[in-house]
Amino acid sequence: AQKITQTQPGMFVQEKEAVTLDCTYDTSDQSYGLFWYKQPSSGEMIFLIYQGSYDEQNATEGRYSLNFQKARKSANLVISASQLGDSAMYFCAMREDFGFGNEKLTFGTGTRLTIIP
């Protein structure tokens, strides 16, 4: 079974600094996908960024980038120039594919990020 590990329960970062949120994963599949979602205090789950296991380049989306190190099985989220609105829970997730479009996401326990003004 797949497993996602997020070892940082909480982080405090000064506004405008860069922050790295750690995520390691465990899978025996050759093809998989890794996602990061943001959950603000209001509760919704917001998709941030995706990395496919065969993608050679690290994914980037605006201020978000994914530091993908396949051999180390890590998929860390990097947020550049943090803003107060970045304060939220962040979840790393892996797609488990059962074939024929049957799939699910397995989530880590999350990291609560607080941006300090």
Residue in the block written with tokens 């024929």: 100
Burial 56-87 (b: 16+ CB within 10 A, else e): eeebeeeebbbbbeeeeebbbbbbeebeeebb
Give me the least distance between CB of 56 and another protein, in Å please.
Answer: 17
Give me the least distance between CB of 107 and another protein, in Å please.
Answer: 4
The residues of the shown chain that bind another protein, judged by CB under 8 A, are 33, 35, 37, 43-47, 50, 52, 91, 93, 95, 97-98, 100-107, 109-110
Please say whether the beta carbons of 97 and 28 come within 8 A.
Answer: no
Give me the least distance between CB of 5 and another protein, in Å please.
Answer: 12
Give me the least distance between CB of 14 and another protein, in Å please.
Answer: 29
What is the C-alpha separation between 25 and 92, in angstroms, rounded?
A: 9
Please say whether the beta carbons of 25 and 33 come within 8 A.
Answer: no
Identity of the residue, 110 or 115, whose beta carbon is nearer to another protein in the bound complex: 110
Identity of the residue, 39 or 67, whose beta carbon is nearer to another protein in the bound complex: 39
